[in-house]
Structure 1
Amino acid sequence: MVFTVHLYLMLIPVFIQVVRGCPNGWTEYGDSCYMAFFDTQDWSAASTTCHEKNSYLAEVGDEQENGFLTRLVSTHQSHESYWLGGNDIFVEGDWRWEESHLVMNYTNWRHGQPDNHHNHNDDCLQAQFTGYTFMWSDVPCTANRNYICEASRGNWIQLG
């Protein structure tokens, strides 16, 4: 009986979390939870931090999701840049999402981007919040940026 009560008490927060959706601080959109982080890091460190939180750098599938991310960060800061999960690290010009490994079918590149500026290995995707939308550009992965993590539905209860 005592074991049953303890097990029941341990499962209540998990059940509540599943029913409620995203954990505190994360915002739900579609089948994912998102959180913007403002401790600037290089792309690799930001990706690692997301993975430590059972998530990954955000992957943007369409214009509506890009608009959602714009609204997500608009309440925090303006004219800031954020890492997203895209890169062309392995093959120049072959932009893929890090987590899914899929080719980026939707993009919102700034005019003239991506440009691999003067062959400086601009291999990572940043989205700059302009006050109205996210415009994308390729920049060196060693630059420090804010970042946005995304967690799929199956990882919601594990977010930290």
Structure 2
Amino acid sequence: MALQRILVVKILVVSLLNGCINANKEVCKTSIEGASTQDWIKWGDNFYKVIMEKMPWLEARDTCAEMGGVMVTPKSENEGRFLAGITPLSDDFRHFWINCNDRLVEGTWECDGKTDIPYQPWLGNGYEPNNYGINGEDCGVTYEGGIGWADCPCSLQLHAVCKKPLAVLHL
């Protein structure tokens, strides 16, 4: 319950900072079909939703697609810091899936369907991605809640954050 209150406060602060609270101090509603006010957080030109259930990478990707979005890939340090700000303050959310993988060709990373990736904050000065272990690591995760990236086995059970383009209706 305390974790849920912390998340609600973080959502309100992030919404306020991004101008998505109206004169009645209500969080903006989205025109995204099937989304409730509490589900999506506005930042910049997009909405974001933290997936509270842990799941493997493919399931997380498909869950975001079912909601009409994509699994997030931070495009800048600012977006990474925003993501760190909307995920709960717990070790459970220290890592979450991003829409990057090298499942087709080892070492050729694809993010959001593209191999030309201008922002790649891999951890450890070349240590990540490292394809560690017998079965390898082919799916991307964030570390420190969005600040750095690493690779992990796609079968791990982790949280995800979904992203959709902006479509806001103020109350």
TM-score tier, shorter chain, comes to: 0.7 to 0.9
Residue 159 of structure 2 aligns with which residue?
Answer: 146
> Residue 107 of structure 1: CA displacement?
1.7
- The unaligned stretches of length 5 or more in structure 2 are 1-28
Residues 114 and 137 of structure 1 are in contact (CA less than 8 Å); yes or no, is this contact kept in structure 2? yes
How many residue pairs end up in the alignment? 133
* Structural RMSD (CA): 2.3
The residue that corresponds to 1:3 in the other structure is: none
| Corresponding position of 2:78 | 64
The list of structure 1 runs, each at least 4 consecutive aligned residues, that deviate by more than 3 angstroms after superposition, is none
Superposed CA deviations along residues 100-141 of structure 1, whole A, max 9, x for unmatched, are 4253221222211100003523110011336xx633110011
Partner in structure 1 of residue 116 of structure 2: 103
Q: CA deviation at 1:17?
A: 4.0
TM-score by length of 2: 0.69
1:137 aligned onto 2:150: yes
- Of Structure 1 and Structure 2, which has the larger fraction of its residues in helix? 1
User: Which amino acid in the other structure matches residue 109 of structure 1?
Assistant: W
1:121 aligned residue: 136
Superimposed CA distance per residue, residues 59-103 of structure 1 (whole angstroms, 9 cap, x where no aligned partner): 211111111111111xx23223211111111121221213x4253
Structure number with bigger Rg? 1
Q: Percent identical across equivalent pairs?
A: 24
Matches within 5 A, 1:87-102: 87-98=101-112, 100-102=113-115
CA distance, structure 2, for counterparts of residue 70 and residue 54 of structure 1: 23
Q: Which structure 1 residue ranges, 5 or more long, are not aligned?
A: 1-15
